[in-house]
Amino acid sequence: MTEETIYVQPNPPAPTRPVVFDPAICDGCNNCVETCQTDVFIPNPQEGKPPIIMYPDECWYCGPCVDVCPKKGAIRLNYPLMWRVPWRDKKTGEHFWIGMKNPPPPNTRPQP
Ligand code: SF4
Ligand code: SF4
């Protein structure tokens, strides 16, 4: 079998950045790469480094890549601006938004 060199180029025209890695925390275990059902990532050729976001425009923002990460804070979802819908309580003036850290009832599920 002959060895081949393969070059890859992350999708440059996509304006999206679906997830953000923290290279100080991520150990390159590639759990997120294996889990993503649309193959947004590829493993980093440098061992121990965060995966490469290869196809950002294929992301569904479904979250399993964050859920399977064993290192808290190594990866976080970066929702598009148009998804960050805020609303305000007319009586109190308090602001709320999707993905906020301590959402009010009935949705008390914190941001992943
Ligand atoms: S949010 Fe879903 S589609 Fe996007 S990178 Fe994570 S697992 Fe893949
Ligand atoms: S699962 Fe977490 S620690 Fe592993 S490569 Fe992905 S972001 Fe890094």
Taking only the tens place, the pLDDT of each residue in 54-86 is 999 899 999 999 999 999 999 999 988 888 888
pLDDT score for 45: 92
Ligand found nearest the CA of 75: 2
Is 95 in the same domain as 47? no
Average pLDDT of span 43-51: 96
Residue of 80, 76, 86, 66 lying closest to 15 (CA atoms): 80
Q: For tokens 């859920």, name the residue.
A: 67
Which residue CA neighbors atom 2 of ligand 1 most closely? 62
**Residue percentage of the chain with pLDDT more than 70:** 91
Residue of 72, 81, 85 lying closest to 112 (CA atoms): 72
Atom from ligand 1 closest to the CA of residue 77: 1
* pLDDT over 70 at 91, yes or no: yes
Q: Give distance in angstroms: CA of 62 to centre of ligand 1.
A: 6
pTM flag (> 0.95): no
Q: What are phi and psi of 91, to 5 degrees?
A: -75, -45
Is 106 in the same domain as 56? no
Structural domain containing residue 68: 19-78
Average pLDDT of span 80-98: 85
**Would 5 be classed as within a structural domain?**
no
Atom from ligand 1 closest to the CA of residue 61: 1
Atom from ligand 2 closest to the CA of residue 27: 3
Is 24 in the same domain as 74? yes
Q: What's the half-sphere exposure (Cβ side, CA atoms, 13 Å) at 78?
A: 14
Is 63 in the same domain as 104? no
